[in-house]
Structure 1
Amino acid sequence: MNHQTLLTNYLSNLHVELFMVDYNRCGADWRDLDYTPDYSKFYWICEGEGWLKIGDQEYYPAPGQLFLMPEGVTQSYSAISDQPFLKYWCHFSVKVGGINLFQILEFPHFCSIKRPELVNDIFNNILLHAKSGEVYGHMMAKSKLTELISHYLMNLDLQQITYLNMPVIEKMSAILAYIDAHIEENITVQDLARIAYMHPNYFIRFFKQQIGTPPIHYITGKKVDKAKELLTCTPSTITMIAERLGFRDLYYFSRLFKKHTGLTPTEFRKQTTRLAT
């Protein structure tokens, strides 16, 4: 089980919240030293000069660089010339299971964007939606912020992302590997709690904090994914697939499958067969 699977799970369960967004030129007095915000920030530099310090790293951002300044990290910034930054910026939070993502993962503080017009467009849309006054405006702005986070990740080498609590990461990797290896069995919370050396009640809270969903919901989703694979790639009957995955009640299996996919197993198989021809 490599860490990329765990990273995928974290990123699939993000809860993003937008606080502020704007586009402006910094003043000559733009300056604050050694403060620790309880929100994260993106700076998208359009033009101008300035200085940032994030943790113990100092930067002189250039146009075309997207800077991530995570919450809980001591920061400083300052104008350094008579040509201060013109930039888009936003304040936001991003959590997994109620935990600040940046307490779990450490990302590079900036990336160079290959297609700056796309980031310009995303930021402009965040700003327009956030200030639109429409009932759906904030929801749309949050969706575009999620897109911005995705775009940031797309421009990184994933090897640059590091895990901040390796004992927890190794434990979660072992748990997810066990689930993958035993997905055709009846996996219980007690089984997983034993692997983690935790009481089952504490384990449920721990798993949800790390993955963003309770362990039984996660296992069910994995069983449905396996069922989709078997429906697509094997001639096994639906009854055989249900039994293989530990479902003795075919009606319950079909209902659960439809809840997750919007289709019954029969409908799913017909659709995938039609797409393959």
Structure 2
Amino acid sequence: MKPTYKMILQNYFHRFQAAVSMAAFSENLPDWNQAEIPDYHRYWYIRSGEGWLVMDDQTYEIKPGRLYVLPAGSSQSFGTDSNTGIEMYWCHFRAAIGDLEFLHQLKFPISVEIDDHKNIESIFERMIQSYRSQSLTKELRLRSAMLDLMAAYLDHCKLNDITGEGIELVEKMDPVLRYIEEHIRENIKVDKLASIAYLHPNYFIGFFKNVVGCSPIQYVNGRRLENAKRLLEETTASVADIAKQVGMQNHYLSRLFKQYIGLTPSRYRQLYRMSAASSGIKEGSEELS
């Protein structure tokens, strides 16, 4: 996947919000069927049995071991034949307008095959238990389970270089984010970014925030901070040298570090290395690929 598409997705996931309205486990008998146009989104996980799904005139097989995501507002009919029933975990949830539609525009699949069945069942069991709970922390635990479920779905999606192609807002932002990465050490002007996207500067700021989730200057500062963190972790360069490499003055980098991370750059480096040494684990990160 293009690095810029990955950045857009990561920022999108960072601000994704969803609220679970129902969660349960069902055993559906042979010849079960249902049809509707729901105003909520669904997750299904099929534990056993087989069936069929017709959504917006497209037919899909319902098979065990698969996780399904069905968007609100789509015409859905589904059921089983006369020979088999279905055992399934499911939940209904509501998301911000456009969130799930954006995922489907990005060619995310309706269903994925799960390789860790116990993990998915455990997530649904936690969700169901939280849904039935009267605890003060009910909504927090529901939200936690929903995010775990979404992460599991995304982990099983096969994202590739065509993800994002054909989506106007993604393709319009691609050259803008590439320009930022290539000129991160320079004084980046909003007017220049707007011209790359062929938009008026006043409109561009709102457009950028809608796609990326923050203003252009916040995004640039965020990228500089990430680069500074990496250099603090991986090199012995002085804080002043690192500030220069990421396009900031020394005092401004220190101020942003304190503001967003709660530590000075020097203290961050010290604590990072102490933690890495005590854990004995080589640092790394998983990436959407």
TM-score tier after normalising by the smaller chain length: 0.7 to 0.9
Instruction: Call closer, same or farther: CA 1:273–1:28 in 2, change over 3 Å.
Output: closer
- Provide the C-alpha distance between the structure 2 equivalents of 1:74 and 1:53, rounded to a whole number of angstroms: 8
Cα distance between partner residues in 2 of 1:45 and 1:233: 45
Q: Deviations over 1:22-77 (max 9, x none)?
A: 112236785333x4333221111123343211233212312211111123433212
CA distance in 2, matches of 1:223, 1:256: 10
Contact 2:16 2:99 in 1 (8 A): no
Find the aligned partners of 2:39 and 2:187 in 1 and give their Cα distance.
Answer: 42
- Paired AA for residue 65 in structure 1: R
Q: Amino acid of the residue matched to residue 268 of structure 1?
A: Y
**Which residue pairs with 1:102 in the alignment?**
101
Establish whether residue 267 from structure 1 lines up as the match of residue 259 from structure 2: no
Structure 1 CA distance, aligned partners of 2:57 and 2:125? 31
CA distance in 2, matches of 1:195, 1:92: 38
Mapped partners of 1:109, 1:172: distance in 2: 26
Q: Distance in 1 between matches of 2:72 and 2:243?
A: 45
**From 12, 16, 19, the counterpart of 2:18:** 16
Letter in 2 for 1:102: E
Identify the residue that residue 238 of structure 1 maps to in structure 2.
Answer: 239
Q: Does 1:70 align with 2:68?
A: no
| C-alpha deviation, 1:11, in angstroms | 2.9
Residue 167 of structure 1 aligns with an amino acid whose one-letter code is: E
Structure 1 spans left out of the alignment, 5+ residues: none
- Offset of residue 145 of structure 1: 0.9
In structure 2, the partner of 1:25 is 27
Is the partner of 1:89 in helix, strand or coil? strand
Post-superposition Cα deviations, 1:169-192, rounded to whole Å, max 9, x if no partner, equal: 221111111111111122232221
Residue in 2 aligned with 1:150? 151
Pairing of 1:142-221 with structure 2 (within 5 A): 142-159=143-160, 162-163=163-164, 165-221=166-222
Distance 1:162 1:113, change over 3 A: same
Aligned residues: 273
In structure 2, the residue corresponding to 1:60 is in which secondary structure?
strand
CA 1:4–1:248 in 2, change beyond 3 Å: closer, same or farther? closer
Tell me the alpha carbon deviations over residues 130-181 of structure 1, each in whole angstroms, 9 at most, x when there is no partner. 2211111111111111111111122222239843743322211111111111
For residue 245 of structure 1, report the CA deviation from its aligned partner.
3.4
Deviation at 1:81, TM superposition (A): 2.6
RMSD, matched Cα: 2.6
Q: Could you list the per-position Cα deviations for residues 184-238 of structure 1 after superposition, in whole angstroms to 9, with x for gaps in the alignment?
A: 1222322211211112232122112212222222211111011112223333322
Deviation at 1:120, TM superposition (A): 0.5
TM-score, with structure 1 as normaliser: 0.86
Aligned partners of 1:124 and 1:238: how far apart in 2? 48
Q: Which residue of 2 aligns with 1:6?
A: 8
2:148 & 2:217 partners in 1: Cα distance?
29
**For structure 1, which segment, 156-165 or 210-219, has the greater mean C-alpha deviation from structure 2 after superposition?**
156-165
Q: Whole-Å Cα distance in 2 between the matches of residues 17 and 164 of structure 1?
A: 29
Give me the identity figure in percent: 36
SS at match of 1:207: helix
Give the AA of the match of 1:100. D
For structure 2, the residue ranges without an aligned partner over 5 or more in a row are 278-289
The 1:22–1:160 alpha-carbon spacing in structure 2 relative to 1, beyond 3 Å, is farther
* Alpha-carbon distance in 2 for matches of 1:25, 1:248: 63
CA distance in 2, matches of 1:224, 1:172: 21
TM-score in terms of structure 2 length? 0.83
Shift of 1:253: 2.5
d(CA) in 1 for partners of 2:198, 2:162:
27
